[in-house]
Amino acid sequence: MKRLLIATHNPGKVREYRQLLRDLPLELTYLDEVGITEEVEETGQTFLENAIQKAMGYAELSGMLTLADDSGLEVDALGGAPGVHSSRYAGPGASDQERIDKLLRELEGVPEEERTARFRCVIAVATPDGRLCAAQGTVEGIITESPRGEHGFGYDPIFYLPDKGRTMAELLPEEKNRISHRARAAHAIKPLLKSCGEEGTTNE
């Protein structure tokens, strides 16, 4: 069975991918399991650029078929921020709660109808010899005024899904994995994985 390296140190993300890609004939591993401690720098201006940098960088380091993603929150009232800076929005080493607190402060006084936002995820898959494929997924929502829910991570507790009547963090993991931006990007990348590994296909 072919191994697929998930380019992350985040065990929560790995669990999600093992669930999302469970029907593919792939054995998923990740950076900590294969002993990779080097960090591939993300210098791109878009989610796609960052995902490609990570996928190609870790494919070269590992010699394995490698999947990397870049994802984040785009808030319309903030001009699309925090965007590619979502994980660094409150500064290096900040916690999820600190990032949420900063975002809510930025949105103080903004009415609900103007608090529209989306989660965006771009997935890139690269081979050690430089072949590449990519896909993306998005989910639309509204930023709440305070966190709700105990599941998920990141900005999930303040991302409200109107059609569900709950925040992303109030969804059970299996429900989130059906509708999240990462789930939609993973669904889009599935048919490309085989051709990416064999021929090299790009789908942006």
Taking only the tens place, the pLDDT of each residue in 163-196 is: 999 999 999 988 988 899 999 999 999 988 877 7
**pLDDT surpassing 90 at residue 10:** no
CA nearest 189: which of 21, 51, 11, 60? 21
Please say if 156 is a catalytic residue: no
User: Which stretch of DSSP H or E encloses residue 106?
Assistant: helix 96-106
Please provide the CATH number assigned to the domain covering 2-198. Answer: 3.90.950.10
> What value does the mean pLDDT take over residues 64-84?
96
Q: What is the pLDDT confidence band of residue 203, given thresholds at 50, 70 and 90?
A: very low
**pLDDT surpassing 70 at residue 39:** yes
CB 24, CB 190: distance < 8 Å: yes
CA nearest 52: which of 111, 122, 1, 147? 122
pTM exceeding 0.75: yes
Tokens linked to 31: 């950076």
Annotated catalytic residue within 70, 96, 101, 129: 70
Q: What is the pLDDT confidence band of residue 197, given thresholds at 50, 70 and 90?
A: low
